[in-house]
Copies of this chain bind each other. A is one copy, B any other.
Amino acid sequence: MSVITIERKVLEKNDQIAGRNRRLFSDRGIFALNLVSSPGAGKTSLLERTIRELQGSMKIAVIEGDVQTDLDAQRVAKYGVPVIQIVTLGGCHLEAGLVQDALGNLDLTGVDLLFIENVGNLVCPANYDLGEAIKVVILSTTEGDDKPLKYPAMFLNSSVLIVNKTDLVPYVNCDLNVLKGNALRVNPSLKIFETSCFTGAGIPEWCDWLRRKDASGQ
């Protein structure tokens, strides 16, 4: 039995469980988003800004994934939304089974939006379906405008690109037009938002899009 065969079996098993998660989200009318990025691109900051903007109008729940620590869950819990932390203990990505287990411990009553914050890794999480409606890839301007070409799978498998930390553009070597052009070369159907979680720029547009997605039944 080769390693390739083992890997295929792991992915098949993952996809079966992801299918079950997806049916659960569909049955309950939950729009589930899988947030992926490099470490430190701003996934948790985006979540905090998004919760603040949507609180009162939409009910949000969060699953946090991390290699170690529950620091992110602590940050999100301050906003009073249901949140559960998955610690992968060295694992480089979330898998559908971990999300399934987390869902069993999360109060989903009335939830409109479920954010699943993946492990900070621009490679491995691309291959693991968690049952989400869409993957949202967050890329910080500080990472440089060549990253969509260098890590294409993540941009190909995502529906939305959020270019974050736009407030830092004057200080870094990143051309936003080149960045967006590279991303669209990899995936021409990407919906792109530009945000700064520091100033709040772009957050209303992103949240309006989430409201419309939810209102349209996804």
**Residues of chain A at the chain B interface (Cβ within 8 Å):** 1, 3, 6, 10, 38-40, 66-69, 71, 90, 92, 119-124, 140, 142-144, 146-147, 149-153, 165, 167-168, 171-173, 198
Contacts and interface: CB of A to CB of B under 8 A. Distances in A.
A23 to B, nearest CB: 26
B153 A39 contact: no
Contacts of A3: 6, 10
Given A143-B39, A143-B40, A165-B142, A123 B172 contact: no
A147 B40 contact: yes
Contact of A90 (B90, B153, B171): B153
A71 to B, nearest CB: 6
Question: Chain A binding site: helix, strand, loop or mixed by DSSP?
Answer: loop
A122 B123 contact: no
What 5 pairs across the A-B complex have the smallest Cβ distances?
A40-B143, A92-B123, A142-B142, A38-B39, A38-B38
B10 A40 contact: no
Contacts of A147: 39-40
Contacts of A38: 38-40, 120, 122, 143
Given A1-B1, A40-B38, A142-B142, A120 B6 contact: no
Given A6-B3, A121-B122, A142-B168, A39 B150 contact: yes
Given A124-B124, A168-B168, A168-B172, A40 B71 contact: no
B123 A69 contact: no
Contacts of A71: 146, 149-150
B150 A69 contact: yes
A69 B171 contact: no
A142 B39 CA distance: 10
Nearest to A174: B40
B40 A142 contact: yes
Nearest to A145: B40
